[in-house]
């Protein structure tokens, strides 16, 4: 069933197959936040510009962006070095031994990501860039309709993602930030501080909040 949007109109929802692929993929985004991300991607897709994700992990949120991009006829780009963020390394809370390369002994989420896209039937609708976000942003050369920031959660990483990609957002484009926790007891503060920074810049207005997901529009 569609959920109400910020305008009070029913928000779009992905097909049952794509939603099932999202729920079956490894990752940390709950369904209600995923539906809000999908609705934002559908809205941004109307600009006719690419949609970009920072922080692919195993592709859980990527399939939602891919479905929105497929429907709108726009490219979806996802950027990740696939070696895992700081909290996903061995000995940390979010470490998953299944994502470790058995030969090299290091994180490698690329195979899991490719399986997720294949199962969703969306491989041809996603451009996967394997690299570090600031380096990719430095050579990026066209406007974007959406930037979804869900990469590393240190201040250095979160700020680098914002500084690298926010300038590429077209007017009216959407900046979506995940894991925004105003209360430190709920989670790390780096995405929260980036959200505050975006609002303080005067370049963005907030259009929707769904738990830890924030949707802002570029003025």
- What are the residue numbers of the active site? 153
Burial class of 72 by CB neighbour count within 10 A (0 to 12, 13 to 18, 19+)? buried
The helix/strand count (H/E) of the chain reads as 7, 7
Q: What is the 8-class DSSP label of residue 46?
A: T
- What is the rounded distance in angstroms from the CA atom of residue 117 to the CA atom of residue 96? 19
Residue 99 backbone dihedrals phi, psi, to 5 degrees: -95, 10
- What is the rounded distance in angstroms from the CA atom of residue 85 to the CA atom of residue 153? 8
C-alpha distance from residue 142 to each of 26, 47, 198, 202 (Å): 31, 13, 21, 22
Tokens encoding 219: 């003025």
Residue 152 backbone dihedrals phi, psi, to 5 degrees: -60, 150
């Amino acid at each position: 069933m569609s959920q109400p949007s910020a305008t009070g109109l029913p928000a779009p929802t992905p097909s049952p197959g794509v939603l099932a692929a999202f729920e079956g993929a490894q990752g940390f985004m709950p369904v209600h936040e995923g539906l809000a991300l999908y609705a934002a991607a559908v809205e941004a897709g109307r600009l006719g510009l690419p949609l970009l994700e920072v922080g692919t992990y195993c592709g859980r949120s990527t399939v939602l962006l891919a479905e929105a991009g497929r429907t709108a006829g726009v490219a979806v780009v996802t950027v990740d070095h696939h070696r895992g963020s700081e909290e996903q390394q061995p000995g940390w809370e979010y470490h998953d031994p299944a994502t470790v390369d058995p030969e090299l002994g290091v994180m490698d989420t690329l195979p899991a990501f490719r399986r997720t896209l294949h199962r969703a039937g969306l491989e041809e609708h996603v451009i996967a860039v394997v690299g570090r976000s600031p380096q990719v942003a430095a050579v990026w050369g066209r406007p974007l309709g959406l930037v979804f920031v869900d990469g590393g959660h240190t201040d250095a990483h979160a700020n680098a993602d914002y500084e690298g990609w926010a300038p590429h957002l077209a007017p009216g484009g959407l900046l979506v930030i995940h894991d925004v926790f105003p209360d430190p007891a709920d989670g790390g503060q780096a995405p929260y501080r980036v959200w505050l920074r975006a609002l303080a810049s005067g370049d963005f207005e907030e259009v929707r909040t769904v738990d830890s997901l924030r949707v802002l529009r570029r003025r």
